[in-house]
Amino acid sequence: MNTTDRHIASAFDRDLETVQALVVKMGGLVESAISEAAAALEARDEELAEEVRRRDKAIDQLELQINEEAARLIARRAPNATDLRVVLTVIKISASLERVGDYAKNIAKRTHVLAHMPPIDGAGMALRRMSQTVEKLMKDALDSYVHRDAALAADVRARDLEVDQMYNALFREFLTYMMEDPRNITACMHLHFIAKNIERMGDHATSIAEQVLYLVSGELPDDPRPKSESVGRPPEPGPTAS
């Protein structure tokens, strides 16, 4: 490698480090959003829920910044196939993180509604446990990215099954509450959609883990994700507008 090539490679590495630092920062904000959205729901804390909603703007802004930096890096540095794989992985991971931030915001929005309804016994605590499981998945998925740890990424992918099982158990529980007393229907429907939002967060953590496997090996997993058979699947509760 001549002096010019070494200079180009060094400049690419510096630019890539900048983009990857933004991904790590974004991941930290998303982990906090998951935790705080669930805490606000359990405590019926409308102020904390509103803070989660406000902070989502910072997550959205980071995704835009990452996409712009990644596009600039591709245009300026003309990365080889291996380096291009890293850049594309960064873009996909930031997209998954942005979606998780939107789901956290959606939970916070429903918290404002639920705070003015009679509580459903144990629901907040159960959803908090589920969100903690997802938060750990997200942390491990991001750690697997930082350390290029394929084994940890594969473990995250396998553990998503636990989140699916928690969702199915909660669905059955909410259905029982609704059947026992029709006055519970509105609150339980909101709680059901929150549970589904959390389950989707787990799916995005798994997507990040799969991107790590692609980054390390050059191939996405060709076997289906381990999934629990879903019960009572509602229409997809996509993120809502601000």
Is residue 62 within 8 A of residue 26, CB to CB? The reply is yes
The residue behind tokens 């967060």 is 201
The residue behind tokens 């509103």 is 50
This prediction has a pTM of 0.88
- pLDDT at position 241 is 43
**Torsion sign across C-alpha atoms 70, 23, 98, 92:** positive
DSSP assignment string, 9-51: HHHHHHHHHHHHHHHHHHHHHHHHHHHHHHHHHHHT-HHHHHH
The residue behind tokens 């960064």 is 90
**C-alpha separations of 190 from 13, 73, 109, 197 in Å:** 46, 43, 10, 11
- pLDDT at position 228 is 66
Q: What is the greatest pairwise CA distance in the chain?
A: 76
**Cβ neighbourhood burial of 147 (10 Å; 0-12, 13-18, 19+):** exposed
- pLDDT at position 126 is 95
**Cα(1)–Cα(94) distance, rounded to whole angstroms?**
33
Is residue 134 within 8 A of residue 159, CB to CB? The reply is no
- Which amino acid belongs to residue 103? Y
How many CB atoms are located within 10 Å of the residue 125 CB? Answer: 12
Query: Of 200, 12, 212, 202, whose CA–CA distance to 92 is shortest?
Result: 212
- pLDDT at position 7 is 40
Is residue 56 within 8 A of residue 141, CB to CB? The reply is no
Beta-carbon contacts of residue 84 (< 8 Å; ≥ 6 apart): 74
The tally of CA atoms less than 13 A away on the side-chain side of residue 230 is 15
Instruction: Per residue of the chain (242 residues), give pLDDT as tens.
Output: 444 444 445 777 888 899 999 999 999 999 999 999 999 999 999 999 999 999 999 999 999 999 999 999 988 878 888 888 999 999 999 999 999 999 999 999 999 999 999 999 999 999 999 999 999 999 999 999 999 999 999 999 999 999 999 999 999 999 999 999 999 999 999 999 999 999 999 999 999 999 999 999 888 887 777 776 655 544 444 554 44
- Which amino acid belongs to residue 1? M
